[in-house]
Structure formats: C-alpha cells, structure tokens
C-alpha cells in the first residue's frame, strides 16, 4: 500500500484546492470492540473515560456534529494524491449519513498540507482572527489556550472547529448575533428540560497537516484520522494512548489500523442521537448501547 510520501514523489504539489464529489451512503461493518470484554458498569466507565479524552466542545456547549452537507477541500497536494484522500474521507462521512456536496462548492472542511504547520496556523489566525476568536460570545470559542495550542503546537495534524447552537427541531440559530434585532425564541427551553431543544452543529473545520511529520503514513490510515477530526470535536491534547483509536496514529504507541470499534461507536452515537444537545455523559451511555447492540448483532450472524 502506498504511503503519502511515496505518492508525493510521483506527483506534483498543487496549490489548487481539490473538492469532494458527492457519494452515496455506504454500509459499514457492525461496530465491534474486540479488546473490550468487560460488562456492566465497567464498560460505562470506559466509555465515559474515552469520551472525556476525545470530546472538546466550547465551554458549556454540547458536542457538535454536521447537520447540513459537507464540502471537503484539500490544498497544496496534487489532484492525484488529494482525490483518493478526499474520496476516502467522504466515504467515511457518508457512513454516518453526512451529506457530501458536489465539486465546485465552497469548502467547509478545509485541509491544508504544508511544510510549516505552526506558521500556517499563525498566518490564518492573523488574517482572519474572527474565525478563531468570537469576541461577543463565549459559546462558540474554545478560548485562548486552545487557540495558542493550535498556533504553536508541534503536532503532525492540528485542527480548529467552528460550531453554532441551533434549535434542534428547526435548525434555526439559538443565540443572538451582532445585528440581530428580534428575540430568539426556543420552544420549551427552561429549567425543567435544561434547554434540551438546543443542539450544536458544526459549520467549519480547518485542518493543517505537517507534510514532514506525516511522512510514511498510509493514505487510508491518514484518511481515517482526518475523517475522525473532521466529523467530531476532538481534543488534540486528549490522552488517548490507552484506548484503541485511530487518533493514536501519530502517538508513541503507534497504530497500523484505521477507525477502531471505539471510533466507529463514537461517531455512530454522535450522528445517531436525537436532534438535541448531546452532553458527554449521555454520549458515553449511547456509545455503550451501540457497542452492546453491535455485539448482539454480530453474535446472531
């Protein structure tokens, strides 16, 4: 199987972004976590720990997911390299019923390959500060510490998610923005249901890949890794080392497989949830249900 480095040697680097073509949903294999043989409360504890390490929503917000269609754009790779990578990410997204836009759309998942990832990150923040810092609301921004890490971290891959709270049933914005004059009406919100009609949706994801630091990574593995961080608000500083996850691809423990059972359960639970706010505890419980359901299904086959 060809690695990114091998493919880059056979192709030219291109500054023209490549975009994803629409793909039909595909059927995935049942989610199984073969190394988890615990049951009862222990599995719940493990799921809660997994979610605690991965999930990185803005403070006081739920876990965001894509509600509208996704347009994937890749910059600084030749089309011969970028196209299979984009198609792979799009196929993973389609598995969770995320719609993919046709080529020519304005990308809302932007993946940039560069030989100076910190410099690229700092340049993006300097040129478009409002995309990384929401001065008028604490509900959309992970804060200065996360922003500093995005700009100055020494990671092979770094990312920044932009999300918006919306009314779950209608998709209308659930917070006031500059220029709004009328009230924002959220049906049923109050102390009794703790605002559950509100959910959080992703609106843009910016991913920067350090070419030198991902050298040798096989394209399908890199594609799974990029799909995971494009579809979910993953914490780049999360301690995932003890878990079976594609996020360990560049971890000291290494990894030679793509999305794990834990990863698939995480995404399936995120995108299979009701259109309401998803908190970490409920998400962990949903993962446990999905794992048990998948195991029962596999046993019947």
Enumerate residues 6+ apart whose C-beta is below 8 A from 144.
Answer: 133
Average the pLDDT over 178-187 and give the result.
62
pLDDT for the residue 277: 72
Cβ atoms within 10 Å of 297's Cβ, excluding its own: 12
Taking residues 272-296, what's their average pLDDT? 77
Average pLDDT over the chain, rounded to whole? 79
- Listed range (6-20, 113-127, 199-213) with the worst mean pLDDT: 6-20
Identify the residue whose tokens are 């423990």.
253
C-beta atoms surrounding 291 within 10 Å: 23
Say what the pLDDT of residue 5 is: 42
Question: What's the CA gap between 271 and 50, in Å, rounded?
Answer: 17
Closest to 34 measured CA to CA, from 301, 271, 294, 300: 294
Q: How far apart are CA 136 and CA 223, in angstroms?
A: 35
Q: Give per-residue pLDDT as tens, 17-28.
A: 566 544 434 334
Is the pTM here over 0.75, yes or no?
yes
pLDDT in the model for residue 246: 95
Is pLDDT above 80 for 1?
no
**Range with the largest mean pLDDT of 60-74, 175-189, 285-299:** 60-74
| Cα angle, residue 125 at apex, residues 103 and 130 outer, rounded to 5° | 85
pLDDT score recorded for residue 95: 96
Q: Which pLDDT score is estimated for 175? A: 66
DSSP code per residue over 75-143: ESS-HHHHHHHHHHHHHHHHHTT--BPPTTSPPSEEEEEES-HHHHHHHHHHH-GGGT--TT-SSS---
Q: Mind listing the pLDDT tens digit for each residue in 218-242? A: 999 999 999 999 999 999 999 988 8
Tell me: pLDDT of 83 over 70: yes
Tell me: pLDDT of 81 over 50.
yes
């Amino acid at each position: 199987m060809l690695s990114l480095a091998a493919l880059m040697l056979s192709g030219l680097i291109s500054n023209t972004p490549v975009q994803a073509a629409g793909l039909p949903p595909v059927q995935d294999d049942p989610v199984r976590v073969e190394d988890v043989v615990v049951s009862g409360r222990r599995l719940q504890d493990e799921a809660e720990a997994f979610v605690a390490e991965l999930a990185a929503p803005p403070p006081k917000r739920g876990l965001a997911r894509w509600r509208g269609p996704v347009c994937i754009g890749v910059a600084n790779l030749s089309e011969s390299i970028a196209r299979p990578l984009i198609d792979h990410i799009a196929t993973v997204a389609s598995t969770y019923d995320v719609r993919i836009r046709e080529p020519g759309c304005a990308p809302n998942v932007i993946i940039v390959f560069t030989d100076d990832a910190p410099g690229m990150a700092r340049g993006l923040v300097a040129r478009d500060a409002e995309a990384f810092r929401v001065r008028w609301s604490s509900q959309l921004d992970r804060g200065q510490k996360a922003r500093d890490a995005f700009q100055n971290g020494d990671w092979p891959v770094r990312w920044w998610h932009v999300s918006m709270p919306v009314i779950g049933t209608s998709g209308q914005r659930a917070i006031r923005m500059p220029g709004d004059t009328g009230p924002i009406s959220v049906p049923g919100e109050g102390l009794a249901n703790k605002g559950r009609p509100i959910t959080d949706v992703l609106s843009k994801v910016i991913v920067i890949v350090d070419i030198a630091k991902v050298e040798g990574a096989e394209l399908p593995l890199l594609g799974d890794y990029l799909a995971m961080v494009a579809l979910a608000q993953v914490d780049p500083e999360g301690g995932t080392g003890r878990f079976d996850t594609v996020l360990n691809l560049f971890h000291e423990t290494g990894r030679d497989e793509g999305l794990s059972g834990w990863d698939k359960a995480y995404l399936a639970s995120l995108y299979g949830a009701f259109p309401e706010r998803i908190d970490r505890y409920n998400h962990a419980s949903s993962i446990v249900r999905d794992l048990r359901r998948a195991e029962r299904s596999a046993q019947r086959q």
